[in-house]
A and B are shown apart, each in its own frame.
Chain A
Amino acid sequence: MKYHTPATFEDAVGIAANATGVTRFLAGGTDVLVQLRADIVTPDDLIDVKHIPGVRDMTQNPDGSWTIGVAVAGAEMTENPALIADWPGVVEGMDLIGSTQVQGRATLTGNLCNGSPAGDAVPGMIAAGASVSVTGPDGSREVAVEDIPTGPGRTSLAKGEMVTAVHLPARGQNGGDAYLRFIPRTEMDIAVVGCAVNLRVDGDTITEARVALGAVAPTARLVEDAATALIGSKLDDAALEALAAAASAACNPIDDKRGTIEFRTHVAGVLAQRAAKIAYARARGEK
C-alpha cells in the first residue's frame, strides 16, 4: 500500500487517475481505516486529502450559501452556530454519526462518497439541495448530492475524480430542515431508516419542500411525491397522511439483520411525518 499526501487537488487527482489498483481517498478515515482493518478493502493507493490547503474551511459566502471543505469534521460543524441556525437538519444528520471520537474525524464528503445507503449526513444534504464540486482528469463539474451515490458502496465519480467541496444553498427566509433516523438503540448504530425534510412556509402554508430518505433503497433518494404532498398544505392530517404514504411508497428496502422490509417501509412514513413537523416548526421560527 502506498500512502500519498498531495498538496493540491490537481496532484491528488493525478495520483488517483494514474493508480492501477484499489484507490481510496482518506478524509477522516472513519470508513476507510475501519474497512482496512476488517479486511474489507485494502487500498493499493491511499490518498490523504488533509494536506491540501483550505480543506478544513467552512465559509459562508456573500450570497448566504455555504462552502464546506472536504476535511471539515462533524465536531467543527456542530460548533458553528451560524451553520446550525441555517441548516439544523444537515448538522444534526452529521452529528448523529458515531461517537465523540468519530466526530473529531468524520466528514460530510466521506459519508457521501463511502456510498452507504444508510449514511446519516446524506438525506439532509439532499433535502437541503446541496451540491458538490467534482474535479477529475477531464476538468471540474458541479453535481447534485443525490446524483453521487449509485448503489451500495458505489458512486458516479469516474476514475480519478474527487469531491473538492460541498455547497449548501443560502437558507433564505422562513425555511427549516430536520433529519431523523431510526435505530434500535440511542447511539453507535446504523440507520434502519433515515428521513430529512426541508421546507419553506408563507404564513402557515408550505410553499417549497424537499424530502429525502436513507437506508430504504440502494441509495439515499429524493422523494418528489412526498414533497408534493407537503407543498400547498398547512401540514394538516391529510397532508401528513399523504406524506407518509408517499414516503412508504418510495421505499425499496431489503430484509436484513438490521430491519425487515415491512418495518422499514412503515417507519419511513412515521419518520417523514415527525421530521416534517420539526422542519415546519423551525420554518415558522418556533424551533
Chain B
Amino acid sequence: MALDSKTEFKYIGTRPDRPDGMDKVTGKARYGADAYAPGMLHGAVVRSPHAHAKIVKIDASKALAMKGVKAVVTRADFATDLEGEDWDLLENTIAGEKTLYDGHAVAAVAATSALIAKDAAKLVEVEYEILPCVTDVDAAMADGAPVIRDGAADHSVPEGLHPNVVRYTEFGRGDVEAGFAAADLVVERDFKTEAVHQGYIEPHACLANLGADGKGELWCCTQGHWFVRRMCTALLGLETTQLRVTASEIGGGFGGKTTVFIDPIALALSRAAGKPVKLVMSRSEVLKASGPTSSASMNVKMGMTKDGKLTAATAVFRMQGGAFPGAPMDMTTMLAFSCYDLDNVHHEGFDVMTNRPKQAAYRAPGAPMGAFAVESVMDELCQGLGLDPIDARLTNAVKEGTKSSFGPRYKAVGLIETLEAAKAHPHYSAPLAENTGRGIASGYWMNWGGETSTSLAIGEDGTVQVGVGTPDIGGSRASMALMAAETLGIPYENVRVDVVDTASLGVNEPSHGSRATYASGLAVIESAREAITKLSKRAADKWGIDAEAVEWRDGAAHPSGPNAGDFTPLSIADIAGEMGSTGGPITGHHDASPTGFGGSFGTHIVDVHVDPDTGKSTVVRYTVVQDAGKAIHPSYVEGQFQGGAAQGIGWALNEEYIYDDDGRLQNDVFLDYRIPVASDLPMIDTVIVEVPNPGHPYGVRGVGETGITPPLPAVACAISHAIGHRMTRLPISPPRVLRAIQGKGIS
C-alpha cells in the first residue's frame, strides 16, 4: 500500500494518554496471572537439576498419592508424531529421553492449591544418568565436545564440523583480499558476548481449560496468541481452531513471548485433570527455562583508506542458541554491515547447540552482537586514522538505491539523516569530563509485515470500536486509535481499541518484528477506509445521489461539489443513528500480509564515566537518534528508543548468563542477573527523524527493535576511549575494566 499524499495531520503526531493507562496504574489491568476459573487447579513443573542427563525413570506415584493432587503429566501426554520445529518446541517444553539444560521441564503436577502442587512436584522421583555438558559456544564446536544431539545438523553444514554445529551460512561479494590490500589501515579483532535475557517484568503465566473432546480455551501472557494457538494445538494433537486463545495484558516481552513454554503443559494438565489449570513461572524458572538470546564469539576485519572509505569487510559469527537449532546467526550475518556501502564483503555464520535453554527472539534478534563487533572495529579504524566517527560513517552510509551488504537495494532509508542529526546535536560537541569517554554507533533493523487481520465497527452513537490481533506491548492501542481517528476524521477519544481473541479475527502474527504499528496500523487504516465507503454509500442513498458524489471529510459525508447537490452534511453519528434501518451494521475489515515494511536506522551517542580505581562505569549522558518514518504517537516512539537503549546498556555493562562447570545457572534471580535499575540510567534523550516509509499510508516504520542495536558498541567504545583500552568482551563489568586499566588484559 502506497504512501498517501497526506502530510497535514490532525491526530497523528499528537500525544494523548494511552487508553490502557488508567487500568494499568490503578491495578485494574489483568495480566497473565490475574485469571481465575471455577474449580481451578494450580500447576507446578518438575525441572531437571542437571544440564545434560538421560532420563532413566520417572516415578510419580508418591506425588499422585498426595491429597489434593489431581494429575501428573510427562512427555507421554503430548503428541508423538512431530517433526522439525514442532518437535524442537515440544522437546523444549518437556524433555523426552534426555534433559538438555539446567531447568528443563521433565514432568508437571496439578493440585488444588499452588502450595500442594509445589510440594507434590518435589515428590516426583526422576532417575537421571548424568552426561557431560557444554555451555560455551567455542567449547561446543571444539573436538571432543559432548554431542547434544547427533543428526540435528542440516545440509548447510560442511563436512568435518562438530555435530553441535547445526546450521552454517556463508555469503558475500567482491574481492575482499584486494579490498584489504587497498586499505590504509586494516583492523581485525575477536569479540565475545554473553547470553542475556529480555528481562520482562511479568513472568509467563496462563490459565488453561481443555476438555476430553479436544475443545479448549487458554488465557495467557503472550506477544502473539495465534502463534500460541498453532504451537499448543500442534504439541497437544488438537485441531487449530478448537482452541480459543485470549491474550492478557502483557508486562513486557521483547521477543521472549513469541513462543510457548508452559502453555502446552497447562493444557495437558487440564486435559488430564478435567479442570482448569493455572500455571505461573517463578523468576528463577523464567531465567532458567524461558528463551534468552544467544551468546556469540565473533571475528571482524575491516579495511579503510585514510580519507575514510571502507575497502573491504569480513565477519565470522559463532552463535549458540541452546540445545536446539535456531541461534539468529542469519540475522547477525545479514545485518552486520547493513549500515555501509561495501563492494567487498564476506560473512560466515555458525549455529551451535549447547546445554542451555532454547533461545528465543530478543529485540532485533542477532543484530546487537554483530553491531558490537562491526561498530567497534569501525571506531578503531576512525581512531587509528584520526577521523571523526560520524564523518567516516557518512562517507560509507547506505541510502536509497545502495546495494546492501546482504543483497537487495535499499528503498528510502534514513541512516544519513540520523547521522546528520546526531552530528548537529549539542551532545556531540559537549565537552567531556575527566575519565569520561564518548561512543558513537549506528544500527539497523529491517522490520517486518506478516499476517494481519483487523476489524472496525461503528457504534449506534457514531463512536468506533477496533479489534486488532497484536497484543499492546508498548502503547500500540493508542497508535491504532490515532490512525483510525485520523482516517475517519473523528476524535481520538471516540475510538476504542481492543486486542481480541483468536476466535474473533483471521490469523495475526505476534507483536514482533517491529510490525504492530506498521502492519496492524495499515490494516486499521484500510478497515476505516472500508467503513468510510459504506458510510458514504448510506449518505448517498439518503440523498439519492451516486456514492462517488459523496466526499468523506472531518468525520462526515459531504456532497463532493456543487454538482452533487446541496445537502446538509451527515456526520458519522447521524448515519450510525439510523444504520439499523438503512441496511444494518456498518463495519470495516482488512486482511493482508503487507510487504511494504521499511527498515529503521539509528545512531546513538553516549558518554560513560569510568572510576579509574574500581573500574565502575556510569552512563552520564545518552542520546538516541532514530528514523521512525512517521511517529504516530511520539511519546511511545520515544519510549521505544529509550527502552532499547536501556536494555542495550544492561547487555553492555552487567547482564550475563553465568554457568558453572556443571552447566548450572549461577544467577537465576534479579539480584545477580543485573539488569539496570532506574537509578543506573541518565534521562535518555531522543531525537525522532522522519524519513517516511513509502510502503505505509502515513509513512510508518517500526521502531521497536533498532534501538537495542547501537548501545552495545556505543557503550563499549565510550569505555574504551575513557580508559585507553579496547573492550572486546561483554559484559564490560568492573572487574574486567579494572584489569584492562591495570594492563592485565581483558579476559
Residues of A within 8 A of B (CB): 38, 182, 184-190, 192, 256-260, 262-263, 266-267, 270
Contacts and interface: CB of A to CB of B under 8 A. Distances in A.
Contacts of A188: 670-671, 677
Interface of B: 284, 613-616, 653-654, 658, 666-667, 669-672, 674, 676-677, 679-680, 733-735, 738-739
Contact of A185 (B666, B667, B669, B674): B674
Contacts of B733: 184
Nearest to B673: A257
A281 B680 CA distance: 28
Contacts, number: 53
Contacts of B669: 38
Contacts of A262: 735, 739
Given A259-B735, A263-B738, A185 B680 contact: yes
B680 A186 contact: yes
A186 B674 contact: no
B280 to A, nearest CB: 13
Given A258-B672, A270-B614, A186 B677 contact: yes
B342 to A, nearest CB: 37
Given A257-B666, A258-B672, A186 B735 contact: no
Nearest to B666: A257
Nearest to A266: B738
Contacts of A184: 616, 653-654, 674, 733-734
Given A185-B679, A186-B680, A267-B738, 9 more contacts: A182-B616, A182-B734, A185-B680, A189-B671, A257-B658, A259-B735, A262-B735, A263-B615, A270-B614
A217 B653 CA distance: 26
A185 to B, nearest CB: 5
A219 to B, nearest CB: 20
A267 B612 CA distance: 11
Given A182-B614, A257-B672, A266-B738, A187 B679 contact: yes
Contact of A257 (B667, B677, B734): B667
B730 to A, nearest CB: 13
A141 B672 CA distance: 37
SS class of chain A's interface: helix, strand, loop or mixed?
loop
A106 to B, nearest CB: 14
Nearest to B733: A184
8 contacts: A182-B734, A184-B616, A184-B653, A184-B734, A185-B676, A188-B677, A257-B667, A262-B735
Nearest to B654: A184
A189 B675 CA distance: 10
A109 B220 CA distance: 42
A184 B677 CA distance: 11
A185 B735 contact: no
A38 B284 contact: yes
Nearest to A192: B734
A260 B670 CA distance: 20
B332 to A, nearest CB: 27
Nearest to B656: A257
Contact of A190 (B284, B614, B671): B671
A258 B613 CA distance: 18
B607 to A, nearest CB: 17
Contacts of B666: 256-257
A260 B735 contact: yes
A187 B677 contact: yes
A194 to B, nearest CB: 13
Nearest to A190: B671
Nearest to A269: B613
A259 B733 CA distance: 9
Contact of A270 (B284, B613, B670, B679): B613
Contacts of B734: 182, 184, 192, 259, 263
